[in-house]
Structure 1
Amino acid sequence: MKPQNIAYVSYAALRNIARATGLMGPARRLMGPAVGKLLYRMSPGGPGPAQINGHKMILASPGSYPPMDMAMARYEPPTTRLFEDILKPGMAVIDVGAHVGYYTLLAAKQVGPTGNVFSFEPNQDNHALLLKNVELNGYDNVVVNNLAVSDRIGASELYLTALDSGRHSMFHHGLPERGVATVNTTTLDAFLESQGWPHIDLIKIDVEGAEQTVLRGMTRLLESSGNLKLIIELNPGMLNSAEVDPLQFLELLTSLGLSVRIIDAARGSVPLAPGDGPSLVDGLIAKETSINLFCEQR
Structure 2
Amino acid sequence: MAMSAIELHSINRWETSFLREEVGGYFTHGVECTPGATVLDVGANIGVFSAAVYERLDGDVRIYAFEPVPPLHATLERNAREFFNGRLIALPYGLASRDDELDFSYVPAATIFSSSSRDQGNIEAERRRVTASIVEMIRRGGLGPALRRVPAPVLTLLVSRKLRVMRQLETHRVTVKPLSSVLDEQGIDHIDLLKVDVEGAELDVLRGIEERHWPLVRQTVVEVERWQQNRDAVRDLLLTRGFTVVTEQDPVQQAGDIGMVFAVRP
Compute the TM-score of the two structures, normalised by the length of structure 2.
Answer: 0.70
**2 CA distance for matches of 1:109 and 1:74?**
13
Kept after mapping to 1: 8 A contact 2:54/2:60: no
Aligned to 1:208: 199
How big is the shift at 1:88? Answer: 1.5
Q: Percent identity?
A: 21
**2 CA distance for matches of 1:152 and 1:73?**
28
How big is the shift at 1:293? Answer: 2.4
How big is the shift at 1:185? Answer: 1.0
**Residues 119-150 of structure 1: CA deviation (Å, up to 9, x unaligned):** 10011111111112223324211111010111
Is the aligned partner of 1:251 residue 2:241? Answer: no
**2 CA distance for matches of 1:215 and 1:78?**
23
Change (3 A) 1:128 1:247: same
**1 CA distance for matches of 2:259 and 2:188?**
30
Is the aligned partner of 1:118 residue 2:109? Answer: no
Change (3 A) 1:126 1:66: farther
Change (3 A) 1:54 1:190: same
**Residues 20-40 of structure 1: CA deviation (Å, up to 9, x unaligned):** xxxxxxxxxxxxxxxxxxxxx
**1 CA distance for matches of 2:65 and 2:117?**
21
Match of 1:180 among 157, 167, 171: 171
Is the aligned partner of 1:290 residue 2:241? Answer: no
Moved more, 95-104 or 247-256: 247-256
Aligned to 1:232: 222
Kept after mapping to 2: 8 A contact 1:148/1:186: yes
Kept after mapping to 2: 8 A contact 1:152/1:187: yes
**Residues 84-105 of structure 1: CA deviation (Å, up to 9, x unaligned):** 9712111101000000001112
**2 CA distance for matches of 1:183 and 1:141?**
25
Kept after mapping to 1: 8 A contact 2:29/2:246: no
Kept after mapping to 2: 8 A contact 1:235/1:284: no
Is the aligned partner of 1:56 residue 2:33? Answer: no
Amino acid across the alignment from 1:149: L
Change (3 A) 1:162 1:112: closer
Amino acid across the alignment from 1:108: Y
Is the aligned partner of 1:98 residue 2:83? Answer: no
Kept after mapping to 2: 8 A contact 1:159/1:168: yes
**2 CA distance for matches of 1:126 and 1:195?**
22
Compute the TM-score of the two structures, normalised by the length of structure 1.
Answer: 0.64
**2 CA distance for matches of 1:255 and 1:56?**
40
Change (3 A) 1:217 1:160: same
Aligned to 1:269: none
Kept after mapping to 1: 8 A contact 2:42/2:195: yes
**2 CA distance for matches of 1:284 and 1:249?**
20
Stretches of structure 2 lacking an aligned partner (at least 5 in a row): 127-165
Match of 1:190 among 181, 195, 217: 181
The two structures, once aligned, show a CA RMSD in angstroms of 3.0
Change (3 A) 1:254 1:163: farther
Change (3 A) 1:165 1:116: same
Kept after mapping to 2: 8 A contact 1:92/1:111: no
**1 CA distance for matches of 2:39 and 2:211?**
17
Match of 2:246 among 245, 261, 266: 261
**2 CA distance for matches of 1:104 and 1:139?**
13
Residue 198 of structure 1: SS of its match in structure 2? Answer: coil
**2 CA distance for matches of 1:90 and 1:107?**
11
Stretches of structure 1 lacking an aligned partner (at least 5 in a row): 1-51, 264-279
Count of residues paired in the alignment: 219
Match of 1:137 among 83, 100, 103: 83
**1 CA distance for matches of 2:14 and 2:20?**
10
